[in-house]
Chains A and B, each alone.
Chain A
C-alpha cells in the first residue's frame, strides 16, 4: 500500500455566527495517494471549499473553528504546525488555484512582479534567476510571448489567460500538492477544455497530487481518478471514478447523476432531486439528506449514517446499506 500524501481524518469545521452555529464540514475523512487526482463534488454550501481551505489552514478563526479531526500532509498534522511552518508549507509544498483569478491576483502589480516576488520569498532566488524562472513558468502554462507579458497587469488578460497566470503562480514553488477550487467554473467551455488539458499535463510533468473541487460532474468524470461526493457538510460517498459513475450507491449521488441533462439523449422531463437543500443553521437530525430522499426510513431521521465499505475502496454513508 503506497503512503498517502494527504490524510484527512474526521474533520469537523464550525463557524460561530451571529445567527447561530454552522457546521460546514462534519466528520469528513479521506485520503489522497501520491500522484492521484481526487475530485470533491457537491452543490453550493456542501462544505467542499471549507474542506479544501482547512488543508491550507485558510479558515478565518474566529468565527471559524476546526473543532475536531486531523489533516496529515506527508505524515505531519498541519493543524499542529506553527504559523511560520504553515507559511513554508504553503509556499513550497501545497499550492492553491481559485475560481476567481481576478480577485486572487493583485491588480496593482504586474503579474511578473507577483510571481517573481513569490519565487524570491519562497525559494530564495535572486532577481535575475527569479525573472528567468518566471518567464519559463509562463511559457509552461501557455502564455504567448512571456518576456513581454511579464509586465502586464491582471486586467489585461482574458479569463482563461488569468487562470493560466494563476497556475504559473501555483507552480512557481514546485508544489507536490495542488488544490484547485472550481478553477474552470467561470470559464467558457472551449477555454475550460484548454485549462483542463493544461492541468492534466502539469500534474504529469511535475508529479503532483491534486484535489479538484467542482460542482460540474462532467469535469470530474474526466479529470479525476477518485471522487468524493459531499452533501450538507457530510461526505456521503467515496470511490473511484468508475464506481461513482457506473455504480453509485448513495441516493444523493444517484439523484445528482439523474438530474443532469445529457448531451446524447433528450428526455421530456429530467429527474430532479425534489425539495431544497436544508438550512445549515438548523439542519435536520440524522441523515441530512433524508428530507429529500425517496428511500427515507425512520432511522434516517434519528441517526447519522456512518460510512460503510460497499466494495474495496468504495464507501457510502446510507442506512440502506445496513439492511442488506
Chain B
C-alpha cells in the first residue's frame, strides 16, 4: 500500500484515541487519603487502516494493544478521541446503530478455549450471528451458510454437530474465524489469534487468514507480540509502547531499518531461528515501566540508549519521516 492512495480508501481512522482507567484503590488507601491513580492504557494514539490492507499492531504485554482492539469494537468506551469507520463517527452511534455496525467489525480472540461456548454445537455457534443480524430466512438456508463457512476455514459437514471440546486448538481457532466471517465483515481484528498455537498449526492459521483476505477482500487489524508473525502477515506495522504508538510504517521498511530506539531494541531481542544470526540481546536498560501515572516526557525515558535532556520533559509527537513512516522520537 503506498502513502499516496486516495483518502476515501481509508476504512478505519483512529485519532487521538485515549483510554484512562481510574484506579480508586482499596478502602485503606482511601482512608489514608491517597489519591486515585490513573492507568493510561491507551494514551492518544492515531492510525488508519486502508481497505484490503493488514495493519500489524505489535508491542509487549500491557502496552495497550488489546485495549485498542476493544475500543475500536466499543467493548470498552474510550476516554476521548475519535474512531471513524468509512468516514462515520463510530462513537456517535446509538446502541442500535452500533449493533448493526458490529457486523462490519469482527474480532477473533487469542484463546479459542474461552471464546467458544462449551455447551453449544458448532452449528449453534456459527448460526447465532446469522440469526442476530437477520442474514438468513430459513433453517435450510442457515445450514447451507454454516456449511459454507466451515468449508472456507477447512472444516466439513462432519464437524457441524460437535462441541468445542472435541476440537484441537487450531481447529477451534478455525471455528472462531468462521464465526467472524459469518456476517460478512469488512474489518477483522485478530487479537493474538495465533499466539496459543503450536508453530506447525500457527502456519496453517496464518495461511488461512491470508487466503480469506484474498478471497473476501478483508481488511485486518492483526495484534500480536510475536514480531516474526507480524512481519509475515502485515502490510504496515504500528509499534506500541506503554499506551503510545512509537513507530509506524510499511512492514518491509520498518523491519529492515527500524528508526525508533524501542523498535530497534525489540528486533534485537528476538531470537532468530538461525544459529548464524547474532544471539538475542537487550539494548534497553531496566524493565518496562508502569502505565500508572507515567511521568511527563517520552515513555522510554530511563531505558533509552540515545536519550537526551528534552526526552524527560516533552513527550515526542509521532511525526512523518518520509516513505510513509512515522516515528515519535526526539533523537532521530
What residues make up the interface of A, taking CB atoms closer than 8 Å to B?
A: 43-44, 158, 160-161, 188-194, 196-197, 215-219, 221-223, 241-242, 245, 255-257, 259-264, 266-274, 276-277
Contacts and interface: CB of A to CB of B under 8 A. Distances in A.
* Closest 5 pairs (CB-CB, A-B): A272-B203, A218-B271, A261-B232, A259-B203, A43-B198
A218 B201 contact: no
B131 interface: no
B293 to A, nearest CB: 18
A38 to B, nearest CB: 15
Contact of B275 (A160, A193, A242, A276): A242
Contacts of B201: 43, 272, 276
Nearest to B267: A263
Contacts of A277: 168, 198
A217 B273 CA distance: 5
Contacts of B272: 218, 221, 262-264
Nearest to B62: A188
A261 B279 contact: no
Interface in B251-308: 251-252, 255, 265-275, 277, 279-282, 284, 287-288
Contacts of A267: 232
B75 to A, nearest CB: 24
B280 to A, nearest CB: 4
A261 B195 CA distance: 13
A272 B228 contact: no
A266 B231 contact: yes
Given A43-B198, A189-B280, A221 B229 contact: no
Contacts of B200: 43, 255-256, 259, 272-273
B273 A276 contact: no
Contact of A188 (B231, B233, B288): B288
A221 B273 contact: yes
B287 A158 contact: yes
B60 to A, nearest CB: 4
B207 interface: yes
A263 B203 CA distance: 14
Nearest to B168: A276
Nearest to A144: B286
B124 interface: no
B227 interface: yes
B259 to A, nearest CB: 17
A235 B227 CA distance: 29
Contacts of B27: none
B280 A196 contact: yes
A94 to B, nearest CB: 26
B275 A221 contact: yes
Nearest to A197: B281
B171 interface: yes
B275 A261 contact: no
Q: Is chain B's interface secondary structure helix, strand, loop, or mixed overall?
A: helix
B331 interface: no
Contacts of A261: 203, 206, 228-229, 231-233
A160 to B, nearest CB: 6
A241 B266 CA distance: 24
Q: Which of B170, B201, B267 has the most CB of A within 10 A?
A: B201
Contacts of A43: 198-201
A188 B280 contact: no
Given A158-B287, A197-B281, 19 more contacts: A43-B199, A188-B60, A192-B269, A193-B271, A193-B281, A218-B272, A221-B275, A241-B275, A257-B273, A259-B202, A260-B228, A262-B228, A263-B227, A263-B270, A271-B203, A272-B200, A272-B204, A272-B207, A276-B171
B199 A189 contact: no
Nearest to B303: A190
B202 A193 contact: no
Interface of B: 60-61, 168, 170-171, 198-204, 206-207, 210, 225, 227-229, 231-233, 251-252, 255, 265-275, 277, 279-282, 284, 287-288
A263 B282 contact: no
Given A255-B200, A270-B206, A193 B280 contact: yes
16 contacts: A188-B225, A190-B269, A193-B268, A193-B271, A218-B280, A219-B271, A221-B271, A221-B275, A222-B275, A245-B274, A263-B255, A266-B231, A272-B200, A272-B203, A272-B204, A276-B168
Q: Which of B200, B233, B252, B268 has the most CB of A within 10 A?
A: B200
A276 B227 CA distance: 25
A266 B232 contact: yes
B273 A218 contact: yes
Given A269-B207, A271-B203, A272-B207, A222 B279 contact: yes
Nearest to A216: B271
Contacts of B265: 190
Contacts of B233: 261
Contact of A270 (B170, B232, B268): B232
A190 B58 CA distance: 13
A221 B168 CA distance: 28
A305 B15 CA distance: 59
Nearest to A227: B275
A245 B275 contact: yes
Contacts of B231: 261-263, 266
Q: Which of A43, A188, A191, A273 has the most CB of B within 10 A?
A: A188
Q: Which of A160, A256, A262, A272 has the most CB of B within 10 A?
A: A272
Given A221-B273, A242-B275, A266-B252, A194 B232 contact: no
Contacts of B281: 193, 197
Given A190-B284, A192-B269, A269 B275 contact: no
A223 to B, nearest CB: 8
A204 to B, nearest CB: 14
B233 to A, nearest CB: 8
